Structure 1
């Protein structure tokens, strides 16, 4: 019961936040409408997640990856800007094997949030295929990827 309420609260907060960001300065009446609409959207989002059979699990490395995300976004923007220059070698496709306990859904989302990394596929629960502009793993990738030699 508590997990259901937390999930609905998170969905409601995210949807209300998006509404406020897209509308701009809101009046009290608009805020009430945004909250009520977000509550309906939260129930719909939870229902769709349950219907799709998606379960939240595998949070190992999530906090470390979230801490690394802002710096990764700034560095990614710099790399993306540099990639527009003539003669840039381009990116490369690589497989990221996720560490045990990391969920492919949230890990792929955080990897895709950096401007220099594009998630192409999630073939397995423990693997993500990315196109990256940087030759080595970035901080978010290091937080979610297996260490060398780990199985």
Structure 2
């Protein structure tokens, strides 16, 4: 039963991503998106299982998913501002940062959410709940706060 629920969640995420990236869809496009999301869901589950990453953290996952659109808009604004600074000849450098994911946070979905914004990109997993990310300069975003309980170095 848990496997079916996980497949359903991956399927919904794939369909939502398709709609988000392409905009308003006709019924035919909805059908294609729903059909194409089926193998994507099986693939996502297989990758998660092969990586050994847990899916845990239901309450944290919901909070992080709800915060993600805010992080996407905020980080896009930060990236635009930094791009303008770079075009004016100022040096702009990102940084590497180690985040400690909160207890019960699945590394697979946490790294996926982090990497789906312009503000951070998950580079690698360390021991335990540690994730190495490359971030934009400036304070960490709301998504990193939602995933880490404020633990970072």
Per the normalisation by structure 1, the TM-score is: 0.71
Q: Give the Cα–Cα distance (whole angstroms) in 2 for the partners of residues 78 and 63 of structure 1.
A: 24
Gapped regions of structure 1 (runs ≥ 5): none
Which residue number in structure 2 is paired with residue 74 of structure 1? Answer: 73
Q: Give the Cα–Cα distance (whole angstroms) in 1 for the partners of residues 100 and 53 of structure 2.
A: 21
Q: Give the Cα–Cα distance (whole angstroms) in 1 for the partners of residues 109 and 124 of structure 2.
A: 13
SS in 1 for 2:126: strand
Q: Give the Cα–Cα distance (whole angstroms) in 1 for the partners of residues 73 and 33 of structure 2.
A: 31
SS in 2 for 1:61: helix
Gapped regions of structure 2 (runs ≥ 5): none
Q: Give the Cα–Cα distance (whole angstroms) in 2 for the partners of residues 26 and 133 of structure 1.
A: 39
The alignment of Structure 1 onto Structure 2 pairs a total of residues equal to 145
Q: Which moved more, 1:10-19 or 1:71-80?
A: 10-19
8 Å CA contact retained: 1:104, 1:125: no
Could you give the per-residue CA deviations for residues 71-125 of structure 1, whole angstroms, max 9, x where no partner exists?
2111111111122223143211111111222222111112112212121111234
Could you give the per-residue CA deviations for residues 107-147 of structure 1, whole angstroms, max 9, x where no partner exists?
11121122121211112340111111132221111111144
Q: Over aligned residues, Cα RMSD in angstroms?
A: 3.2
